[in-house]
Amino acid sequence: MRAGTMSRSFFTVSRSRSEAVQFRAILAATYPVFLAAALVQRLRPGVAGPRRSVFGEARAMALSAIPFAFMG
C-alpha cells in the first residue's frame, strides 16, 4: 500500500518538474515574439504615463499568455 503512494507521489513530482521545464522552454521560445510586440507598442504614439521597461513588459505578456498552453 505504501509503495503505491510513493510511486504516485513520484509521478506527481516528476510530472510537475516536466511541466516546469516545458514552461521555461516555451517562455524562452516565445519571449522574442513578445519583446517585438512590446517594442511595437512602445513606438506607437499616444501612450503616455509611467511604464515598465520593454523587457519587463515582454515578460509580463509572456507570463500571462503561456499558461493557456497548459490548460486542458
How many distinct structural domains can be found in the chain?
1
The verdict on pTM exceeding 0.85 is no
Torsion of CA 59, 64, 65, 66, to 10 degrees: 80
Q: How many CA atoms lie within 13 A of 60 on its CB side?
A: 8
* Residues spanned by the domain of 26: 2-70
Q: What mean pLDDT comes out for the span 30-57?
A: 88
Burial of 34 (0-12, 13-18, 19+ CB in 10 A): buried
pLDDT digits (tens, 9 = 90+) for 6-40: 556 656 778 788 888 998 999 999 999 999 999 99
